[in-house]
Amino acid sequence: MQREQISVFDMFKIGIGPSSSHTLGPWRAAQQFVQSLEQQRVLPIVQQVKILLYGSLAKTGHGHGTDIAILLGLSGDDPVTFEVDQVTPKIEHIKSSHQLILGGVLPVSFYAEEDLMFLFNESLPYHPNAVTFQAFLNTGKAVSETYYSIGGGFVVKEGDSGQSKTEVDLPFPIDTAADLLHWCIKTGLRISEVVAENELAWRSEQETRTGALNIFRALKECIYRGCHTTGQLPGGLNVARRAAKLNAKLIGNNKYSNYDEWVAAIRNTGDSFKNTLDWVSCFALAVNEENASFGRVVTAPTNGAAGVIPAVLQYYIAFCDGNTDQKIINFLFTASEIGSIFKKGATISAAMGGCQAEIGVSSAMAAAALTECMGGTQRQVLMAAEIAMEHHLGLTCDPIGGLVQVPCIERNTMGAIKAITASQLALQSNPEKAKVSLDAVVKTMWQTALDMNSKYKETSDGGLAINIPISLPEC
């Protein structure tokens, strides 16, 4: 059987918030549709496009910015490079001018009310996050393609196997935690070293290091920006940003003017339990407030859960001894491998598995990464991931108003703290005596996902989403 091959850079992708499955994935799908029109040599003769959103993409698409992402993707913009402060002006221009520049080259008329349909009561069988693009040509014919956003920014086109990426010969093929442990035992390599060897199948060591440090730069810029931005989050829930106020309170009179000085200033505030706890929450809030504001974030493994891994990494940098390039790379590599195991054995899509698939997986990734970097054995690393997920099992996805704000932002603080606790527990334990393996918890998570009522899977049809009275402005 063909194994899915997932690189560190598939797991950690730079993009724009607020959702990897509902924003980044649909954005990528729209880009792929335009590329497909180019490949079929019909792009110049397109007269009109229509978009049909199904299932969870329809139900929470407004709150998650699915419509915005698709319009930008169809316009030929890229989520990695598009200036985040241009999102609102560009969308307003498309809507007021009733014109979309398809692929950045071909003006087509576009009326959002008629051309972008939210099919709230329709779902496609393959996956709840489905979008169909239709392009009507001047020949009277039409091109129609359906894409599925399967979580974490991964996209599958209907009819494709989902493995369009070039296959490589990985020295250490891994599907399960048992596979990973097998290679560690056989070679004596640490988990991050196994990942580093596998990454060489895709690119050189230098390219991999540069790419990983680019990911880290995006993470730290996101945290720093979030810790220094005040105001309210968009979307109509009127949620106040809290990270900047908390940062100001915690940092006190310590002065700084850039990220590195900020880290030194954080260290100056002391390492009492309460202070450290507050800082970890502050880091996670910062990232997810950026995410909710259509800011630049990194899927880790998703956007909704984008704050957990950076918060734990920032904790490692500021409160442990993690402030070196190699340690940061080891952290990201280990986290990525654990995320891959969950994606292969279960899911990282909240529309498939609820919030256990997002916050639970990110917490397991962070717990493992911290344990690896704190010197834990390979078995302790896997144990940390297992503990973190074990205590997220069954966590539902019920975002109020379909916005990635409540409970999502605070939930990232919980995922981060649980990750640190899980890591400490593993470091203080003998994994030989553990009753539950990581593979058993992956299997359990998947079974729980299958049993979970669909109203708890990113539909805003249940949970907090229906018990908190709100009135949002019409989109």
Which residues sit at the interface with ligand SF4, rule CB under 6 A? 304-305, 350, 355, 358-359, 397, 399, 404, 407-408, 411, 458
Structure tokens at 400: 């109020």
Give the nearer residue to ligand SF4 in terms of CB position, either 103 or 304: 304
3-state secondary structure of 240: strand
Alpha helices by DSSP H, listed for 233-355, are: 243-251, 259-268, 273-292, 308-319, 325-345, 350-353
Give the nearer residue to ligand SF4 in terms of CB position, either 339 or 399: 399
Tell the smallest beta-carbon distance from residue 4 to ligand SF4 (Å).
22
SS (H, E, C) 330-351: HHHHHHHHHHHHHHHHCCCCHH
Tell the smallest beta-carbon distance from residue 17 to ligand SF4 (Å).
11
Count CB-CB contacts under 10 A for residue 158. Answer: 14
DSSP letter, residue 166: P
Comparing every residue's Cβ against ligand SF4, the nearest one is: 304
Tell the smallest beta-carbon distance from residue 457 to ligand SF4 (Å).
9
Pair 357, 129: CB distance under 8 Å: no
Tell the smallest beta-carbon distance from residue 407 to ligand SF4 (Å).
6
Structure tokens at 316: 């490692």
Furthest CA-CA distance within the chain: 70
SS (H, E, C) 269-280: CCCCHHHHHHHH
From CA 227, how far away is CA 19, in angstroms rounded? 20
Give the nearer residue to ligand SF4 in terms of CB position, either 5 or 21: 21
Q: What pairing do the DSSP bridges indicate for beta strands 46-54 and 296-298? A: unpaired
Give the nearer residue to ligand SF4 in terms of CB position, either 250 or 355: 355
From CA 165, how far away is CA 240, in angstroms rounded? 41
Tell the smallest beta-carbon distance from residue 397 to ligand SF4 (Å).
3
Pair 164, 156: CB distance under 8 Å: no
From CA 363, how far away is CA 161, in angstroms rounded? 29
Going by C-alpha positions, the residue among 345, 344, 353, 286 that lies closest to residue 314 is 286
Give the nearer residue to ligand SF4 in terms of CB position, either 155 or 404: 404
From CA 53, how far away is CA 143, in angstroms rounded? 16
Give the nearer residue to ligand SF4 in terms of CB position, either 347 or 423: 347
Tell the smallest beta-carbon distance from residue 404 to ligand SF4 (Å).
5
Query: SS3 helix, strand, coil % of the chain, rounded to 5?
Result: 55, 10, 35
Give the nearer residue to ligand SF4 in terms of CB position, either 7 or 303: 303
Give the nearer residue to ligand SF4 in terms of CB position, either 13 or 411: 411
Tell the smallest beta-carbon distance from residue 38 to ligand SF4 (Å).
33
Count of residues making up the chain = 475
Write down the residue that tokens 């709150």 correspond to. Answer: 63
Give the nearer residue to ligand SF4 in terms of CB position, either 322 or 407: 407
Tell the smallest beta-carbon distance from residue 233 to ligand SF4 (Å).
13
DSSP letter, residue 299: -
Which residues make beta-bridge pairs with 155?
A: 149
Tell the smallest beta-carbon distance from residue 396 to ligand SF4 (Å).
7
From CA 356, how far away is CA 393, in angstroms rounded? 6
3-state secondary structure of 123: coil
Cβ partners under 8 Å of residue 362, min gap 6: 300, 301, 302, 305, 306, 308, 309, 339, 412, 415, 419
Pair 346, 449: CB distance under 8 Å: yes
Give the nearer residue to ligand SF4 in terms of CB position, either 276 or 349: 349
Tell the smallest beta-carbon distance from residue 460 to ligand SF4 (Å).
9
Give the nearer residue to ligand SF4 in terms of CB position, either 28 or 59: 59
Tell the smallest beta-carbon distance from residue 73 to ligand SF4 (Å).
20
Give the nearer residue to ligand SF4 in terms of CB position, either 153 or 322: 153
Tell the smallest beta-carbon distance from residue 24 to ligand SF4 (Å).
13
